[in-house]
Structure 1
Amino acid sequence: MNLSEYVEKRNGMPLGASDSLRNMLYRSLGAETFAKFWQYWNPIWGYYLGKYIFKPLKQILPSSLSLIITFIACGFIHDLAVMVLKWKFSLLLTQWFLFMALCVIIGEYAKINYSKLSWMVRALIHTLVISACFFIAYQLNKFIFMVFIS
């Protein structure tokens, strides 16, 4: 599957369509599981993460571990961008993405599904999970900085 086909499958509209951002937000925030949220979120980035990180890892590692490593790699790439801009070492986003990966795996394992809830409640749940993961990562990052770096 090429990038255009992937984006249309995930986003429900062709690559570059005028309403693609709105559609991506609507689909991802209204997803029935946290794992589905990530299938709809940023399909272009997801295509490359899937093709070059997740799928090769999945051939040699269990799916869950491949997912965790893919999320960590994604967070680290985000951190690299921040480090280049700020000229300051940080792994905050790497930790954040690790916690979100764990939420995906726990949600799948526990078969957590919000499909019977309204779109607004599903969007709120996803926003809260993402925010809680960031809060935990931020607190852990502060603790690590205090204990090991200061």
Structure 2
Amino acid sequence: MKILAALFSILGVMALVMAESSFSPRTYQAETVATNYGVYRDAVNNYALSNSAPSSGEISTSLLRLPSGWNPIRNWTNRFDNGHIYVWGSVNSMEAQAIRDLFLNSYAIGINRNGKLFNKYGNGVSLPSFIPEGCIVSMIKK
């Protein structure tokens, strides 16, 4: 009986350590960046759907309907080009994964690697050269 009690105590401590590591400050930071990106991306998408968006160029943040008090955590950028809307920014690998998780691993969200959109499913969609290498990218067809 004492052996079982010791075993369950050890398992309990291990569970607490594992749970604590899953809620680390780095995880929280990545999820915050993902949410911030998601709000910006959705504002760009909503603007494009409800307004006569230009065929090319950037939509100023001042024109977007962003929540009161919203501030970008990263330098998010958007650009309309050739019938597509691109939204991108620099992130680390944890933040990129949190963004992909937020958008349920959408085919349209990935990392720019060698001029192609790389996501969970592989790569293949070519990206314009104005998107920097290594950025998270969301591609929306207008």
| TM-score normalised by structure 1 residue count | 0.23
- Greater C-alpha radius of gyration: 2
| TM-score normalised by structure 2 residue count | 0.24
Higher helix share: 1
Higher strand share: 2
